[in-house]
Structure 1
Amino acid sequence: MNLDPGFIWTALRSLLQAVPTTLAITAVSSLCGLLLGTVTALLRIYRVPLLGQASSAYVTFIRGTPMLTHLLLIYFGLPLLIDGPLAGAGLPVRSAMIPMIGFAYIAFSITAGAYLSEVVRAGIQAVDRGQMEAGLAVGMTTGQALRRIVLPQAMAASVPNLSNSVIGMLHASSLAFTVSVVDINAQAQIVASTNWRYFEAYLAAAILYWGMTLALERLAALVERRISLYNRGGVSS
Structure 2
Amino acid sequence: MIIDVPFIWTAFVEILKALPLTLLITIGPLLGGLLIGIAVAAVRINSVKIITPIANVYVSFFRGTPAILHIMVIYLGFPLLINKLSSYYGWGFNANSIPIVVFVLIALSFTAGAYMSEIIRSGLLAVEKGQIEAAYSIGMNRFQSMKRIVFPQAFALSLPNLCNIFIGFLHTSSIAFIVSQKELNGAANIVASNNLKFLEAYIAAALIYWMLTMLIEGITALLERKLTVYNRGGVV
TM-score, normalised relative to structure 2: 0.92
User: Counterpart of 1:84?
Assistant: 84
Amino acid at match of 1:102: V
Which range moves more in the overlay, 15-24 or 84-93?
A: 84-93
Instruction: Give per-residue Cα distances to partners, 1:124-180, cap 9 Å, x unaligned.
Output: 010011233344452524x55434432232112100110111100000000010111
* 8 Å CA contact 2:59, 2:114 repeated in 1: yes
How far the C-alpha of 1:195 sits from its partner, in A, is 2.0
Q: Which amino acid in structure 2 is aligned with residue 81 of structure 1?
A: L
Aligned match of 2:226? 226
Q: Hey, what's the Cα distance between the residues in 1 that align with 2:208 and 2:192?
A: 16
Q: 1:139 to 1:222 in 2, by over 3 A?
A: closer
> Which consecutive residues of structure 2, in runs of 5 or more, have no partner in the other structure?
none
| 1-structure distance, mates of 2:195, 2:113 | 40
- Cross-structure match for 1:72: 72
Paired residues, number: 232
Match of 1:199 in 2: 199
Report what 2:141 is aligned to.
140
Distance 1:139 1:90 in 2: 52
Q: Residue 84 of structure 2 aligns to which amino acid in structure 1? A: G
- 2:156 & 2:86 partners in 1: Cα distance? 42
| Change in CA separation of 1:134 and 1:81 when aligned onto 2, cut-off 3 Å | farther
Q: Pairwise mapping of residues 1-237 of structure 1 onto structure 2 (< 5 A)?
A: 1-137=1-137, 138=139, 140-141=141-142, 143=143, 145-229=145-229
Q: Quote the offset at 1:55 in angstroms.
A: 0.6
After superposition, what is the alpha-carbon deviation per residue over 1:47-104, rounded to whole angstroms, capped at 9, x for unaligned?
1011111111000011111111111111111112222112222213332122111111
Gaps of 5+ in 1: none
Change (3 A) 1:83 1:181: same
Query: Quick one: distance in 2 between partners of 1:22 and 1:189?
Result: 14
Q: Aligned to 1:92, what secondary structure does the other structure show?
A: coil
Cα separation, 2, equivalents of 1:59 and 1:65: 10
- Following superposition, the deviation at residue 231 of structure 1 comes to 5.8
SS in 2 for 1:215: helix
Whether the 8 Å contact between 2:153 and 2:231 is mirrored in structure 1 is no
Taking the aligned partners of 1:150 and 1:114, their CA distance within structure 2 comes to 21
Give the TM-score, by structure 1 length: 0.92
1:94-129 deviation line (CA, Å, top 9, x unaligned): 321221111111111110110111111110010011
CA–CA separation in structure 2 for the residues paired with 1:182 and 1:152: 38
Deviation at 1:17, TM superposition (A): 0.6
Deviation at 1:32, TM superposition (A): 1.0
Sequence identity of aligned pairs in percent?
47
Partners of 1:55 and 1:205 in 2: CA distance: 37
2:126–2:154 CA contact under 8 A, matched in 1: yes
1:3 to partner: Cα distance: 0.8
